[in-house]
Amino acid sequence: MLGGGIVAGSVVLLTGEPGVGKSTLLLQIAEHLASEDDAVMYVTGEESPHQVKLRSQRLGIPGQGIFILPESDIDTILEKLDDCRPVMAIVDSIQTLHCREASSGPGSVAQVRESGLRLMHWAKTNHTPVFLAGHVTKDGGVAGPRVLEHMVDVVTYLEAQDAGSYRILRNTKNRFGSTSEIGVFEMTGQGLAEVADPSQAIIAQRYRESVGTTVVPVLQGNRTLMLEVQALTSPSSGPAPRRVGNGVDYNRLLMLSAVGNKRGNLGLAGQDIIVSVAGGFRVDEPAADLAIVLAMASSLCNRPLRFDLAAFGEVSLSGEVRPTPQAQRRVQEASRLGFSKCILPAANQDQVNPPPGMQLDFVESLHESIQTALGNPERLS
Ligand SMILES: Nc1ncnc2c1ncn2[C@@H]1O[C@H](COP(=O)(O)OP(=O)(O)OP(=O)(O)O)[C@@H](O)[C@H]1O
Ligand SMILES: [Mg+2]
């Protein structure tokens, strides 16, 4: 997530909804870095040292080398940091800090900006990394001044799916590495545990023969993930049909609905359409276009797609299926997880060697893809 490791003197802002697990993750990071000779300073402005201790006991963290500082005054914090000379400092959270010079209350824009600046200066002059926990606003942005996101080196979000125990860590900014890497964790009684094979975990939760679902191999940094796209279409009762996308870009969804209607011969115009990506993941790649349209087509004709089918390909406005980068990597991941059929762009044919037991259907158009997947040439509605 951090581009190969923690860069000395870098400042990382970890944000997320209340209760998502920020403090848990920070404490686990502290545990990894702290030792008898290497101190990690954990500044807590939100919880008492006793509460932090209770959590660390639950997580099974003995706390060797972790120093808890219950303090919110930035001058005092910097003094203690200078005394302690830790290998890393954690501040939970940036919104609780205040500095004497700025007159407004803790959490205000001026206070957060000033405290953030001071911590950054400390990190850079001491070549010591600082991790900050940060609150989010109602619409999901980092609370406090926008400039905080510009100041820090990395901004990362910890996200939870609606009711599940998965937590997904996503960078929105990284000065030292890619922003496309994600971390997938599960929240357990002992803290956040890495999900080593997220594709496998997602696929394991699928039901057999389910109408309106397709699986697409997408690239997330160095990983290839098999994500399940789900679509529900139902006749609209309002004057303007609704389109709702969870984990897909809304404008992309509008475009794909229009292309599916016009070029794919799907009767989508009078339908409400809801598209979701299972597990709280996001698909931002055009490679997921074909899977989204096939999921809509499956829902529309109320017929499931084959359970062992994966599909990928970019869909153009004219209804062509365009080539997709890294086709071989995607086909291989599908094959590894037991998929035996894949619909993919004809333009990728030269770059792909079919893995054993995998049938590849190369398609040129959306219309052809729908026929291949659902086998019905008539207008579907
Ligand atoms: N015994 C437990 N078993 C499993 N999960 C637990 C347990 N206790 C707490 N949790 C999980 O830990 C979460 C709280 O984590 P944490 O306090 O790290 O979140 P946070 O993001 O720091 O919250 P805040 O915004 O309030 O500071 C709970 O929402 C719950 O999911
Ligand atoms: Mg917390």
Predicted confidence (pLDDT) per residue in 269-284, tens digit: 999 999 999 888 889 8
Per-residue pLDDT for 252 more than 70?
A: yes
The minimum-distance atom of ligand 1 relative to the CA of 46 is 27
The minimum-distance atom of ligand 1 relative to the CA of 25 is 18
Q: Find the 196 Cα to ligand 2 centroid distance in Å.
A: 25
The minimum-distance atom of ligand 1 relative to the CA of 158 is 21
Return the amino acid letter for 258.
Answer: A
- Tell me the HSE value of 89 on the side-chain side, using a 13 A CA sphere: 30
Per-residue pLDDT for 162 more than 80?
A: no
Alpha-carbon distance 80 to 133, whole Å? 19
Alpha-carbon distance 153 to 120, whole Å? 10
Per-residue pLDDT for 241 more than 60?
A: yes
> Which residue's C-alpha comes closest to atom 9 of ligand 1?
189
Strands 223-235 and 359-363: unpaired
pLDDT confidence of residue 206: 82
Beta bridge mates, 272: 234
Q: Find the 160 Cα to ligand 2 centroid distance in Å.
A: 15
Identify whether the C-beta of residue 309 lies closer than 8 Å to the C-beta of residue 375: no
pLDDT confidence of residue 141: 78
Per-residue pLDDT for 381 more than 70?
A: no
Determine if the peptide bond prior to 93 is cis (ω within 30°).
yes
Ligand nearest to the CA of 24: 1
Per-residue pLDDT for 120 more than 60?
A: yes
Per-residue pLDDT for 165 more than 90?
A: no
Q: State mean pLDDT over 277-302.
A: 93
Per-residue pLDDT for 221 more than 90?
A: no
> Which residue's C-alpha comes closest to atom 3 of ligand 1?
189
pLDDT confidence of residue 209: 74
DSSP for 183-215, please give it. EEEEEETTEEEE-S-HHHHHHHTPPSS-TTEEE
Ligand 1 is surrounded, with C-beta below 6 A, by 16, 18-24, 46, 187-189
pLDDT confidence of residue 163: 61
Per-residue pLDDT for 312 more than 80?
A: yes
pLDDT confidence of residue 79: 97
Which pLDDT band holds residue 146 (cuts at 50, 70, 90)?
Answer: confident
> Which residue's C-alpha comes closest to atom 7 of ligand 1?
189
Q: Find the 22 Cα to ligand 2 centroid distance in Å.
A: 5
Global pTM reads 0.84
- Helix, strand, coil percent content, the chain, rounded in steps of 5: 30, 30, 40
Which pLDDT band holds residue 351 (cuts at 50, 70, 90)?
Answer: very high
Backbone angles phi, psi at 329, to 5 degrees: -60, -40
Alpha-carbon distance 37 to 315, whole Å? 56
Beta bridge mates, 142: 136
DSSP-based three-state secondary structure for 284 = coil
DSSP-based three-state secondary structure for 328 = helix
Q: Which two tokens stand for residue 288?
A: 């997921």
Residue the block writes with tokens 């109602």: 138
What is the greatest pairwise CA distance in the chain? 76
Q: Find the 369 Cα to ligand 1 centroid distance in Å.
A: 45
> Which residue's C-alpha comes closest to atom 12 of ligand 1?
21
Q: State mean pLDDT over 246-269.
A: 95
Which pLDDT band holds residue 380 (cuts at 50, 70, 90)?
Answer: low
Q: State mean pLDDT over 16-43.
A: 95
Q: Which of 13, 15, 20, 166 to mutate to test the pocket of ligand 1 (most atoms within 8 A of CB)?
A: 20
pLDDT confidence of residue 376: 65
Alpha-carbon distance 370 to 50, whole Å? 60
pLDDT confidence of residue 379: 52
DSSP-based three-state secondary structure for 263 = coil
